[in-house]
Structure 1
Amino acid sequence: MSKLGFRFLDGKIYARNIQRWARAARMAATTDLSLLRRQRSRARLLKMHLDRLIHTADERLALPKVGSTSFPKPHNADWSWRPELWRGSLPTPGLSSVQTKSMLGDEVTLFHDCKFSELTLRQLRNLREEDLAPYGLRLDVFKFDGSFLSLVVDLPDAGVKGLKRSHLVRMDAIVEMEKPLEIFARLNIRHGPNTEQIVRELPLSEENIRVEFDLAYSNMNEKRVERAWIDLIFEGPQMNQVILRDLTFSRRPRAHL
């Protein structure tokens, strides 16, 4: 039988099954109980497979695509990166009563000095058409009795290798908040026994939330760079919810004057 014939037959069987289950649903109020019991068992088994199919299909077909590394970057960038938390599903999607130094994934760590933690971290699926990152991060803060709260993102070796004082390091973010607060980004570069730090405040009132770190104004020893990380520092975070829909990094050589 031709492929067209198979498609036609498959469509006929599907339509017949839909009609049969629709009729069973309409008559359920008066169906003999022994028959209704068999129909219920079959419907539950069918529903289990259908729910699994729908869940997987929603995950795969939803925008944006899981694993996406696509985002706007400078045309002359020699490195760009979206952390794993914003790229794909984590084995542990969330934490509650988060203790300091707790990690979500392999690259993101939460630091605070609260005596009693009323903090939660959760990875969430981005489904908005305008989102480029497949996943986002939600931080819920209830009562906050500490003096600092920061989210640390470790930069990979590829972002550190070949790092020079002639580089501009850029961070782009999409941030949502329940109520206004200040967020600072601090770039930390460990070179030998020293750590260079550059702090920028995120322009949360602007449409494009972007900060750049110009390493020309640092005292970084290019030959001794070991690792780098970003601190996202939240000022006055109590009774607030912050969603980081996306977080990306890139670097490029600054133009020669």
Structure 2
Amino acid sequence: MGRILDLYIHRKVLGRWRKAAQQSSDAPQSLLRHQRDQARSLRTHLDRIIHIADGRLARPQIGSERFPKPIGTDWSWRPDLWRGPLARPGVASAPRKSMIDRQVTLFHDCGHSEISARQNRNRHESDLAPFSLALEVFSFEGSFLSLSVELPADAAQDLTRQHLMRVDSLIDSEKAIEVFARLNIQHGPNSEQVLRQLDLSGRSIAIDFDLAHLPLNERRIEKIWMDLIFKNPRMNRIVLRDLTFCRHHRADL
């Protein structure tokens, strides 16, 4: 009974506003002013519920940590920026060091910044991450542009040289661009780096960093972070639709 009554009231209200819109060209100004004020008040609430509903009902769901992982994975992670909404969704004319959130920082060395970064909601059916990060670069006179992602502390727990550290990314760009990934591991006073170029010819990009040949002190691993380095990003829009990390043991030979 309640649903039938709600539907009846909705149809009556909808009919009233449809009729008011049809007659607005000839309505007296006093009536038109009253209807305008009512419509504005109503639109405030309608816009809010549409905005919240779009966010909650869109796929993938906010907070999703779902993504493919290799057999033998013992740790996996999708950074918060790709999982949930930021308090500040973007930055324009980004300073040389711009913290996007507590895990992700944008670096460049341009004297005059024409670089912006903005978080967007993913809505493609093929997307697994709820959010993406769009970098827009106009004039670029610097020597580097990079995005640094600090991995959580549990990524270093029980990490050994028998592990492979996998990074999966989904990157779109308006123009062809070269992108490099550099894994950094700090152990005691020393740090090790491994640099790999991403193959952007496919939609999804997966690379494995092999730790076997690094002179790691496994007992003193303190911090892990990865830098995404964009070569010659001038006049380009780069969208990181997803970014995930996991570690897995090397297959037995």
TM-score relative to the length of structure 2: 0.97
Counterparts of 2:232 and 2:217 in 1: how far apart (Å)? 35
Q: Which runs of 5+ in 1 are unaligned?
A: none
Cα offset, 1:98, TM superposition: 1.2
- Residue number among 48, 51, 55 corresponding to 1:55 in the alignment: 51
- Residue number among 103, 111, 120 corresponding to 2:107 in the alignment: 111
Cα offset, 1:56, TM superposition: 0.9
Counterparts of 1:16 and 1:91 in 2: how far apart (Å)? 39
Identity of aligned residues (%): 54
How many residues of Structure 1 are paired with residues of Structure 2 in the alignment?
A: 253
Shift of the 206–32 alpha-carbon distance from structure 1 to 2, 3 Å rule, reads closer
Question: Does structure 1 residue 91 correspond to structure 2 residue 80?
Answer: no
Counterparts of 1:92 and 1:76 in 2: how far apart (Å)? 37
Contact 2:103 2:150 (C-alpha < 8 Å) held by counterparts: yes
Partner residue in 2 for 1:165: 161
Question: Does structure 1 residue 191 correspond to structure 2 residue 159?
Answer: no
| 1:157-188 deviations in Å (ceiling 9; x for gaps) | 11111111000000000000111111110100
- Return the letter of the residue paired with 1:162: D
Question: Does structure 1 residue 242 correspond to structure 2 residue 242?
Answer: no
Structure 1 residues 211-230: aligned runs within 5 Å: 211-230=207-226
- Return the letter of the residue paired with 1:179: K
Partner residue in 1 for 2:251: 255
Q: Which runs of 5+ in 2 are unaligned?
A: none
Across the aligned residues of Structure 1 and Structure 2, the Cα RMSD in angstroms comes to: 1.1
Question: Does structure 1 residue 26 correspond to structure 2 residue 22?
Answer: yes
Counterparts of 1:27 and 1:78 in 2: how far apart (Å)? 66
| 1:15-67 deviations in Å (ceiling 9; x for gaps) | 11111111121122222332222222211111111111111111111111111
- Residue number among 35, 40, 51 corresponding to 2:31 in the alignment: 35
Q: Aligned with 2:212: secondary structure?
A: helix
Contact 2:163 2:212 (C-alpha < 8 Å) held by counterparts: yes
Counterparts of 1:115 and 1:99 in 2: how far apart (Å)? 9
More divergent stretch after superposition (30-39 vs 55-64)? 30-39
Cα offset, 1:237, TM superposition: 1.3
TM-score relative to the length of structure 1: 0.95
